[in-house]
Amino acid sequence: MSESVILVTGGSGLVGEAVKWVIENESNPRYGKKEGEKWVFLSSKDGDLRKEADVKAIFEKYKPTHVIHLAAMVGGLFKNMKYKLDFLRENMMMNENILWQSKEFNVKKVVSCLSTCIFPDKTTYPIDETMVHDGPPHDSNFGYAYGKRMIDVYNHAYNEQFGCHFTSVIPTNVFGPHDNYELEGSHVLPGLTHKCYLAKKNNTPFVVWGSGKPLRQFIYSRDLAKLFIWVLREYEEIDPIILSVGEEDEVSIKDVADGIVKAMDFKGEYAFDSTKADGQYKKTANNHKLMKYIPDFEFTPFDVAIKESVEWFEQNYDTLRK
Ligand code: NDP
């Protein structure tokens, strides 16, 4: 049997590290490494994906048969509001290069990554996969959102003109080991984890930006990684698929902060700063399509996943991204 070479861009990030972990550790053969598969995990040290020549050289070196395209400029609300052009331009450049070289090298399947925060701002809930292009995204992140939406446009154009099997997935908020814990620029859960850690260490109040009321669905990176592997192996559509816990598992930012306080055993003062922006109040997505395909999938309970993530953070504080 000829070998499959699966190239994972963004292999050193939150989601990429989780895919690596699942491939190396998972005993269920549906998600773990299969015989005849070679997995290659890239970081920016292997090349700058914004540069066509670097991407071409990577494809020449590894000759991938499959690609999981995770690399992106990624960030939380405050970074998105500040760098709209960078989010649009850098992500468009990376996607352009990866998809074009995948076509040039006859890659059998590409799975790229969208996000639930690219959906229209004014919409009805719950959101589903058919609504990606229905109206403008929230103003706070339109650069990132339009850049990501174009992946779906590309996937259909590549399929219709060249018959390529390029598809995409739409995760909700991801968290887990190897997250970005910068105090500014990170997503809410890792940002709050870091803030709470410092409050505990320095004996200062733990202040959460915003009202704590917005609602979000979170997916543990290792659950998402399993679903990515399932999509690569078993999902045949070009249209995207939402990878999320169900609507009933939506939590408030306050629930998240409470979970971190508990996992970290923080006993100090804890408050919300409502003068700071909340972003979209909610963006509830339904996972009916996913559950139709894979009804027996088991998500890790939120408190277990937070505990594992906080433990990883505490054990790796000296070397992690912060
Ligand atoms: P991270 O920020 O953790 O990782 C980003 C990855 O992309 C890193 O491996 C980084 O390499 C690589 N990268 C960034 N810029 C370049 C570049 N110019 N050239 C080569 N590699 C580059 O991101 P996540 O793991 O959180 O995100 C993965 C995907 O999931 C993204 O497409 C994101 O949009 C999507 N997503 C993420 C969500 C989340 O909550 N985190 C939610 C929904 C979707 P290096 O380590 O060397 O810098």
The SS3 assignment for 320 reads coil
Phi-psi bin for 279: left (phi > 0), alpha (psi -120 to 50), beta?
left
In angstroms, the CA 102 to CA 59 distance is 8
**Is 49 touching ligand 1 by the criterion CB < 6 Å?**
yes
**Is 173 touching ligand 1 by the criterion CB < 6 Å?**
yes
Distance 271 CA to ligand 1 centre (A): 31
Angle CA 94–15–316, to nearest 5: 120
Structure tokens at 126: 């719950």
Residue with tokens 């799975």: 111
- Counting ligand 1 atoms within 8 A of each CB, the residue from 56, 74, 228, 312 with the most, and so the one to mutate, is 74
Residues of the chain with pLDDT under 70: 1-2, 185
Phi-psi bin for 106: left (phi > 0), alpha (psi -120 to 50), beta?
left
Q: Are strands 251-252 and 215-216 parallel, antiparallel or unpaired?
A: antiparallel
Catalytic residue among 144, 154, 197, 235: 144
- Counting ligand 1 atoms within 8 A of each CB, the residue from 22, 41, 44, 244 with the most, and so the one to mutate, is 44
Q: Please tell me the predicted confidence (pLDDT) of residue 245.
A: 95
Q: Which atom of ligand 1 is nearest to the CA of 90?
A: 18
User: Hey, what amino acid is at 281?
Assistant: Y
Residue 118 CB contacts under 8 Å (≥ 6 apart), including other chains: 132, 137, 141, 144, 145, 146, 148, 149, 170
**Is 185 touching ligand 1 by the criterion CB < 6 Å?**
no
Distance 233 CA to ligand 1 centre (A): 22
Structure tokens at 230: 């399932």
Q: Could you tell me the sign of the dihedral formed by the alpha carbons of 92, 94, 97, 103, in that order?
A: negative
Distance 73 CA to ligand 1 centre (A): 6
Residue 242 β-bridge partners: 170
144 is an active site residue: yes
Q: Please tell me the predicted confidence (pLDDT) of residue 280.
A: 75
Distance 57 CA to ligand 1 centre (A): 20
* CB 12 within 8 Å of CB 41: yes
Q: Please tell me the predicted confidence (pLDDT) of residue 62.
A: 98
CA 231 from chain centre, in angstroms, equals 14
Q: Please name the residue whose Cα sits nearest to atom 13 of ligand 1.
A: 71
The SS3 assignment for 206 reads strand
Residue 156 CB contacts under 8 Å (≥ 6 apart), including other chains: 238
**Is 113 touching ligand 1 by the criterion CB < 6 Å?**
yes
* CB 142 within 8 Å of CB 284: no
Q: Please tell me the predicted confidence (pLDDT) of residue 2.
A: 67
**Is 217 touching ligand 1 by the criterion CB < 6 Å?**
no
Q: What is the rounded end-to-end Cα distance, in angstroms, of the chain?
A: 44
CA atoms within 13 A on the CB side of 51: 9
